[in-house]
A and B are shown apart, each in its own frame.
Chain A
Amino acid sequence: MFPKLDPILHSELRLAVMSILADVESAEFSYLRKQTNSTAGNLSVQIDKLSAAGYITVEKGFKGKMPCTTCKITPEGIEAFNNYVNALKEYISL
């Protein structure tokens, strides 16, 4: 019996964002955009979905005079990400 893959994470851009956030304290929107090579609109939508699922927190602030959005993975996000990776490994080994 295959473990069910988390539908929130099983999307390329959301998974890319979670992979980056799993390794860092927090990351700015501009960094995520550069790393994932995505459009601002699409990234914003996917970040909202991850935030709604409780996997990341999004903090909007300012850096000097420029608006700055910072994303951080939550403990629930880390758990979901680990479960997702373990499920993938099972898929591949079977």
Chain B
Amino acid sequence: MEKNNEQNKEMTAQESLSLISEMLNNSRRIILQNNAKHFMLWGILLTVTSLAIYELWHITGNPIWNCAWFAMPALGFPIVRILDRKNSDVPQNVINKQLGLIWLTYCIFAVTISVIAMLVVPMNISLVIAVLLGFAECISGFLLKNWAITIGGFILGIGGAVATSMIYNEAQLLIFTLGGIILVVTGLIIKFQYK
């Protein structure tokens, strides 16, 4: 009863503004902390997948192992669903929705281009994917107003494009290992930024 009366009381202008600011910040923190988990999950999956394919390609000398990339979204999306089910009442805001759209677009482009490169027109797929990955990471940094993430994306995109033009075969996969590490670090940055 006392709690109810306390919450129904009228406030001064300063108290009202403080309350608005506190509620907005708390809510944003919870929403974006949920996003941090997604970055870390995809980062770990990217690191593990790239290292596994690198190792298998290196040992067997057969690039067919690249087909294992398709296991990444097949494994990742169900895990995301399970993670989200635990926080199913956490709402979506503009930033979180746009981040989701950016990375979904990246995923659609990456999978489609990979299929085209495998079945229709051969191309330097690693270069394209590295640029797309860096681009998506860079925009995420701008959205989150975090320069470290933006610079990480820029290094990944531009550095990845240059590196994939200079190194060949399975060694190119190590660029994606770096990409995975950058995604994990992005998740950690968000986690600590909105602690």
Are A31 and B23 in touch, CB under 8 angstroms?
no
B59 at the interface (CB under 8 A from A): no
- Indicate whether A91 sits within 8 Å of B89 (C-beta atoms), given known contacts A19-B20, A35-B27: no
B3 at the interface (CB under 8 A from A): yes
What 0/1 pattern do residues 1 to 43 of B give for CB contact below 8 A with A? 0011011111101101101100110111011000000000000
Chain B residues whose C-beta falls within 8 Å of the C-beta of A11 in the assembled complex: 8-10
Residue total for B at the interface (Cβ-Cβ under 8 A): 29
Chain B residues whose C-beta falls within 8 Å of the C-beta of A46 in the assembled complex: 8
Interface secondary structure of A, over-half rule = helix
Q: How far is the CA of A28 from the CA of B90 in the complex (A)?
A: 8
Interface-side segment among B63-71, B91-99, B114-122, B129-137: B91-99
A-B contact pairs, 12 of them (CB 8 A): A12-B8, A15-B16, A19-B24, A22-B24, A28-B89, A31-B90, A41-B4, A42-B3, A46-B8, A85-B17, A85-B20, A92-B14
Q: List the interface of chain B (C-beta within 8 A of A).
A: 3-4, 6-11, 13-14, 16-17, 19-20, 23-24, 26-28, 30-31, 88-94, 97
